Each structure stands twice: as structure tokens, then as C-alpha cells.
Structure 1
Amino acid sequence: MTASAGPPGPSGDATPDPAADVRALRRFNRFYVNLIGAFDYGRQLYTPFTLTEARILYEIAHHDRVDAADLRVSLSLDAGYLSRLLGKFEDRKLITRGRSERDPRRQCIMLTPAGWEAAGLLEERSQEAVGSLLTDLPAADRARLVDSARTIHALLAKGPEEAPDARPPEVVLRRPYPGDLGWMVERNAALYAAEYGFDLSYEALVARIVAEYAEAFDPRWDRTWIAELGGDRVGAVMCVRDGAPGVARLRLLLVEPGARGHGVGRQLVDTCVEFAREAGYGELALWTNSVLHAARGLYQRAGFELVSESAHHSFGQDLVGQDWRLTL
């Protein structure tokens, strides 16, 4: 029985009651807004941001470049109100604004290192807050809740003629949040062990690379991207300074098996190349092994050239290492 069920009609079916449907949906809205603390969002998550400000930071963080006009449309905000909020962010050194490459009449908005830190903190605390709602639920009830949330999203976000999965999920590249670098170590180790038989020495190598990146990170020269597909982490890549002057190095390209075929690897490599070029590097280098056929195809497509290779025994396997270079 539902809240909208009226007396049975001639066919025996419940008579629709639109007013009761509206009341039920409004009652749910009031309940959920109070539950997540939307009216006191900053205090709920112990941050200085309102819900609207947090949504703006989220949108900027989940797109490598975003225009002010895009933000206004995606968040349904008044242009003047959005401009004032962006001005506050600029005053607090959270964002920079400049001319859009796509359209000089538009503003391109990017997060500063302080902005990335704020966005990462918001993401971490939001995850914790929502996770706390699920912690005490039995597994069956948790599954029902998540399935119901997906159903609500599917029904209200799309027209009735469009199936929920009619459009393929969008690949989104973003900067790393707290925990993402650790995820890169774990997934690299697990995937390379499963697909190529690499031993623990490979995980140790990846952990050192990630630790060195985090300790020496300089946003002018270094960058990491996390790829998401349908909201799930499915890939990553790093661009870091090399020992030679003017040379950047592409490292730790990763695409989850279930995400292959969606263009994730191509976008990660292309974005890495674009960043290295814009940062002023003259060359982008990488080291890989000949058994990584799919990755080698991506590098060739992006214009990399194989300059040398040599046999070696590493990670418990006999391999052929390869050096690839791209002049920028």
C-alpha cells in the first residue's frame, strides 16, 4: 500500500491521488534536508562553506576546466549570485579566473592548491557523513536504500521515454582527494599481480613513486588525475618532473578492466600531454614494458616514439623494458 492509494476503482486498481503524491514527496524532501543538515551544511561537516558553495567547489574539482556559464546552468544559479560567490572564492585564494580557451567571452575557473585542499576536505567529510548514515543499516536494508536512491535519480533526472542506462556514463578527470594516492598504490599492485604476475617488489616501487610525488609536489610542474566513470574511480595517471631539465615523465597509468573501451586511458594520456606542454616542458618521457600492449597503443596514438629497449628481470618476471619519448 502507498500513500497515494485511494479507494479501488471499477477495475480494482487503486485510484491515483495526485495531491497525496505531492504531500508524500514534500514530506520526504523535508525529512532528507533535515537529515543531511542542508540548512546548516558548514556546521554539519565542520567547514566554513554553505551547501551552495560546496556544490560549486565540487563542480570545479570534477572538471579540469569549467566556465562560469557552465556552472550557472548546471547548478541553476542566478548569474549575479554566482559571481558574488566566485568573488569570495577568489578573495580567499581558492580559485583563479581567466579567459576561456573555448570562448574568450567566457570565464575559465580553476582551483588553486588551497582550493584543491578545501575541495578534498569537503569530499572526505561528505563521504564520512553519508557513510555514517549507512553504517548501522543491515546489509539488506542498505541495498534497498541504495537501489531506491538510484531509482529516484533515474526517474527524476530523465524523461519517461529514456531508459536509465540509455546514455553511456561520462568519463570525468579530477585531481586527487585524500586517499586517492593510496588507492593508486593498491590498484596498481593488485592489477599487475593479477594480469602479469608481478610480485610485491612492484607494489614497493609504486609506493615509493607515490610517496616521492606527495613529498615533493609542486603544482606548477606536477599533476595527478583520477578518472571516474559513473562516479567510480576507474583510472589514474601522473605527470612529474624528470631528472633532466625540461623533461616531464608520465607515470603509473592505470585503467580498471571494467572501464576499458570507454576512452579512459586515451583521456588520461592526452590530458597528461596537454599539461606537460602548457607547463613549458620540452619533452615527455615514460618507461614501460613490452607486455603492456594496450598502454603502448595509447602512447603511439599520442605521438610517443620508442627510443630504446632492453631485457631485464624485475617484479619476479623476465621483461623487456622500453623508453618512450614525445617532443612537445
Structure 2
Amino acid sequence: MPIQEIRAFNRFYTNVIGALDYGKHLYTPYTLTESRVLYELAHSPRTDAADLRGALSLDAGYLSRLLAGFERDGLVVRAPSERDPRRQRITLTDRGRQAAALLDERSRQAVGTLVAGVPEAERGRLTEALRTVRGILSTASPACRAEPVLREPGPGDLGWIVQRHGALYAAEYGWNADFEGLVARIVADFAQGHDPRLERVWIAELDGRPVGSVMCVRDDAPATARLRLLLVEPDARGHGLGDMLVRTAVDFAREAGYRDMVLWTNDVLAGARRIYQRAGFTLVAEKPHRSYGADLVGQDWRLSLQEGTDR
């Protein structure tokens, strides 16, 4: 049995990353558990207290005390969930988002420093070994199976969106490089100038790797948001990740004050259309066209975001 080896590795790794230093984490005022809660609040679309307890396997009383401390420090606000008043929704304040961003930055720096000491030729072996450990332990224990996390794009993620759209649509539909060029222009326009209060990109991450994306940007029509660049990797499909991405973008658009949300797609993308329909979008127009080296039927879809409107 590898019990002793696992325990030895745990002791080794917690020492390497300084998880036990002074009871705090990454030279911030927060413990490791507090840091994990802030991370979940900043990156997960599900922010009910019950979801936090399940995701982090925390005692209900301990989590309640931790959140009360966050509330006193002005990091979070707590209110009844709109979907279920019996549940408590936790939302980060501006100060809370700044704290979570600092933790994320410090974590990246710490891991970067750690990996910098690993010879270049050994980094691929290290990465593969870490994936192997996660995969084996996730299979052995359902409680260890990772759930997807939605986060803002980091360095390289916008390029990943372009690359994966080009590769997947070529493989699945035979589209040529014109489509990849379109995606590159959309991403470049976003990167060169966007209002973060009204426009955002989300990356879906699973087991530490990007597996999906979606974008909400301003449309030319007044008070209208446009949903763009929905993508889910083939091996991550069938688990509701597409619905999660679209729902997150729709919720953001509604909270940002848009009245409507629109999108353009093609009729061959049957899986994506079903996701849009489940989110409440309705088909408003169709038009044949030839693009990306294929004969297609373009479709315009619309969703009203006004309160009281039938979705």
C-alpha cells in the first residue's frame, strides 16, 4: 500500500509551497482555507453557501463563521438566493474581488518561482506526473473528482480560444482558415479595448486545463449584448458545461443592465442550438450563405433580459 509514500509526499509538498507558514497563505492575511473560499467565490458560477460547503467539504458552522468574518471585513455580502430563498447567496464586493485577485497573482508567482527551478527538459515529465496523480485519485474517490471552474482569461487563454476554434471546427465541420481568422479578429477587438463592466470572456477549466469559452460583448443595437465564441472541448461535453457557460454570460448581461441578448450561429451546430434554446433564446431569422468553404444557413437568435419577460 502506498500510504507512507503519499503521507511523505504531503509533508514534502506542504513544506515546499509554504502552506503552513505562520498560519497564513501566500503572505496575505488569509489562511489556506480562507484563500480557497475566496477563490471559489471569484471563479465559480455557483456561489450559494451550500455549494461552497459541498465543493470544499467544509463544516457548515465553520463556513458560516468564516463568511461572517469576510462580511465584517467588507469582502462579501450575503443575501437570500433569488432562485431559492431558503439558500444563501454569497457575492464578493469590490474589496473581495481585489483580495481574490491578489491571491491569484501571488499563487501564480509562487508556482512560477517553484517551476523556474525545474530544468526545462523535466517540466513535461513533471506536468504529466501531476496529471497522472490527479487522474488516479479522482477515479478512486468520487469526492476528489474535479468540477469545472469558470474564470477570467489568463496569459495565453485568448490565443487558446482562437487556436481551438480553428482546430475543432476544421475537424468537425471541415471549415477552412477563414473561420479561424474571424475568431482571431473577434478576440483581437476584445483584447485591444473593452469595458469590463459590460463585456467579459470566461474560460471553463477542468482538471487544470481549459476546456471551454464564451464571450459577452456589446452589440451595435442599443442596450443589447451579443453572445459569442461558445466552445466546449469534445471530451468535456455531455456534462452541462455549455449550459453553465451560456447561463453565466446571460446572468452577467442581465446584471450589467442590457435589455436583450442576441447571437448568430449556423444550423449545422445542433448541439449549440439546443443549449441556446434551453437558455430561452428564440430563433428570429435565417439566411443561407457560403462561408468558411461550406454552404451554410446562418441563424439569428434573441433573448429578452427584462424582468418578468417569459424566457
TM over 0.5: yes
Q: Secondary structure at the match of 1:66?
A: coil
The within-5 A match list for 1:203-242 is 203-242=180-219
2:154 partner amino acid: Y
Give me the whole-angstrom Cα distance separating, in 2, the residues matched to 1:41 and 1:138.
30
Greater CA radius of gyration, 1 or 2?
A: 1
**Count of residues in Structure 1 that have an aligned counterpart in Structure 2:** 296
Q: 1:133 to 1:277 in 2, by over 3 A?
A: same
Residue 51 of structure 1 deviates from its aligned partner by: 3.6
Residue 274 of structure 2 corresponds to residue 297 of structure 1: yes
Residue 146 of structure 1 deviates from its aligned partner by: 4.8
1:208 partner amino acid: R
Q: Secondary structure at the match of 1:325?
A: strand
Give me the whole-angstrom Cα distance separating, in 1, the residues matched to 2:184 and 2:19.
39
1:84 partner amino acid: G
Q: Which residue of 2 aligns with 1:12?
A: none
Q: Secondary structure at the match of 1:311?
A: strand
| 2:148/2:207 contact within 8 Å kept | yes
The within-5 A match list for 1:273-292 is 273-292=250-269
The within-5 A match list for 1:91-102 is 95-101=75-81, 102=84
Q: Which moved more, 1:66-75 or 1:288-297?
A: 66-75
Give me the whole-angstrom Cα distance separating, in 2, the residues matched to 1:182 and 1:116.
24
Q: Which residue of 2 aligns with 1:18?
A: none
Residue 90 of structure 2 corresponds to residue 125 of structure 1: no
Q: Which residue of 2 aligns with 1:108?
A: 90
Q: Which moved more, 1:67-76 or 1:176-185?
A: 67-76
Q: 1:117 to 1:316 in 2, by over 3 A?
A: farther
Q: Secondary structure at the match of 1:254?
A: strand
Give me the whole-angstrom Cα distance separating, in 1, the residues matched to 2:275 and 2:188.
26
Q: 1:72 to 1:171 in 2, by over 3 A?
A: closer
Over the matched positions of the two proteins, sequence identity in percent amounts to 49
1:97 partner amino acid: V
Give me the whole-angstrom Cα distance separating, in 2, the residues matched to 1:174 and 1:72.
20
Q: How far does the alpha carbon of each residue in 1:20-62 deviate from its partner, in whole angstroms, 9 at most, with x for none?
A: x77x766544322211222349999687765444323322223
Q: How far does the alpha carbon of each residue in 1:80-127 deviate from its partner, in whole angstroms, 9 at most, with x for none?
A: 455435544x3xxxx442413144774512364635643542453355
Give me the whole-angstrom Cα distance separating, in 1, the residues matched to 2:67 and 2:107.
21
Residue 70 of structure 1 deviates from its aligned partner by: 5.4
2:12 partner amino acid: F
User: TM-score normalised to the size of structure 2?
Assistant: 0.75
User: TM-score normalised to the size of structure 1?
Assistant: 0.72
Q: Which residue of 2 aligns with 1:191?
A: 168
Give me the whole-angstrom Cα distance separating, in 2, the residues matched to 1:117 and 1:51.
15
Q: How far does the alpha carbon of each residue in 1:176-212 deviate from its partner, in whole angstroms, 9 at most, with x for none?
A: 3343222212211211122222333322221221232
Give me the whole-angstrom Cα distance separating, in 2, the residues matched to 1:202 and 1:145.
35
Q: Which residue of 1 aligns with 2:14?
A: 33
Q: 1:195 to 1:143 in 2, by over 3 A?
A: closer
Q: Which moved more, 1:44-53 or 1:294-303?
A: 44-53
Q: Which residue of 2 aligns with 1:147?
A: 132
Residue 248 of structure 1 deviates from its aligned partner by: 0.8
Q: 1:220 to 1:57 in 2, by over 3 A?
A: same
Structure 2 gaps of 5+ residues are 306-311
Give me the whole-angstrom Cα distance separating, in 1, the residues matched to 2:195 and 2:123.
44
Give me the whole-angstrom Cα distance separating, in 2, the residues matched to 1:53 and 1:248.
35
Q: Secondary structure at the match of 1:99?
A: strand
Give me the whole-angstrom Cα distance separating, in 2, the residues matched to 1:297 and 1:284.
16
Give me the whole-angstrom Cα distance separating, in 2, the residues matched to 1:141 and 1:168.
21
Which of 246, 251, 254 matches 2:223?
246
| 1:124/1:178 contact within 8 Å kept | no
Which of 203, 228, 236 matches 1:259?
236
Q: 1:307 to 1:103 in 2, by over 3 A?
A: closer
Which of 33, 40, 61 matches 2:42?
61
Which of 301, 310, 318 matches 2:287?
310
